[in-house]
Chain A
Amino acid sequence: NAGVTQTPKFRVLKTGQSMTLLCAQDMNHEYMYWYRQDPGMGLRLIHYSVGEGTTAKGEVPDGYNVSRLKKQNFLLGLESAAPSQTSVYFCASSYVRAEAFFGQGTRLTVV
């Protein structure tokens, strides 16, 4: 079982560049989440989605946009990358009231 797959695993961007992180899940989960985790810190929720076509802001949404056009995919976009967005990005998905399953993470460096 693939579970939750994130693409890419690593990326280096220059300041001002844009990129899209893809999260795909094959478990038919309703809920999907994007988190960022800085070194030595906890997870911070960027955006989340409770179903296809719906998204909501989390704790740290500024500088990011998301889309959930298909139930199995949740895209995270950075329109103009900044060094402060250097982090590890985790995607997760879950059924309602159930545990979340995580992807392996995307390590993003903005120089």
Chain B
Amino acid sequence: RKEVEQDPGPFNVPEGATVAFNCTYSNSASQSFFWYRQDCRKEPKLLMSVYSSGNEDGRFTAQLNRASQYISLLIRDSKLSDSATYLCVVNSYNTNAGKSTFGDGTTLTVKP
């Protein structure tokens, strides 16, 4: 089983739709969490951190559920420019002196 798992999609949604992605992780000692965005053939870029109390950045909302070991990303009012692959990242520091583990990503295509 992978340490971090995401639904690969693809998610195909119309403009203006609300879409949600989930990501589960297996290491219960994981300590920090992030969502990244990766455009085709480009490097991943940080979209937002995920805090225990949940956090929002404009149309994007991230949540963390430590008990069930998953994080989520909600995108409201989808734009064409939101089309990308979204990666969840989990940082763990109790094994191997710590490292970031990336999910394989969920692909989103927003259509007119």
Contact = CB atoms under 8 A, between A and B. Distances in A.
Interface of A: 31, 33, 35, 41-43, 45, 48, 50, 54, 56, 58, 88, 90, 92, 94, 96-105
Nearest to A88: B41
- The contact size tier of chain B is 20 to 34
Given A96-B93, A97-B31, A97-B32, A45 B43 contact: no
**Consensus secondary structure, chain A interface:** strand
A41 B104 contact: yes
Contacts of B69: none
B44 A102 contact: yes
Contacts of B41: 88, 105
B89 interface: yes
A33 B31 contact: no
30 contacts: A35-B102, A42-B87, A42-B105, A43-B44, A43-B87, A43-B102, A43-B104, A45-B99, A45-B101, A48-B99, A50-B97, A56-B96, A56-B99, A88-B41, A90-B43, A90-B44, A92-B100, A96-B98, A97-B31, A97-B32, A97-B91, A97-B93, A97-B98, A99-B46, A99-B49, A100-B46, A100-B89, A102-B43, A104-B42, A105-B42
A99 B90 CA distance: 10
A21 to B, nearest CB: 14
A81 B96 CA distance: 28
Given A92-B100, A104-B43, 10 more contacts: A31-B98, A31-B100, A33-B100, A42-B87, A43-B44, A45-B102, A88-B41, A99-B46, A99-B89, A100-B89
Contacts of A54: 97
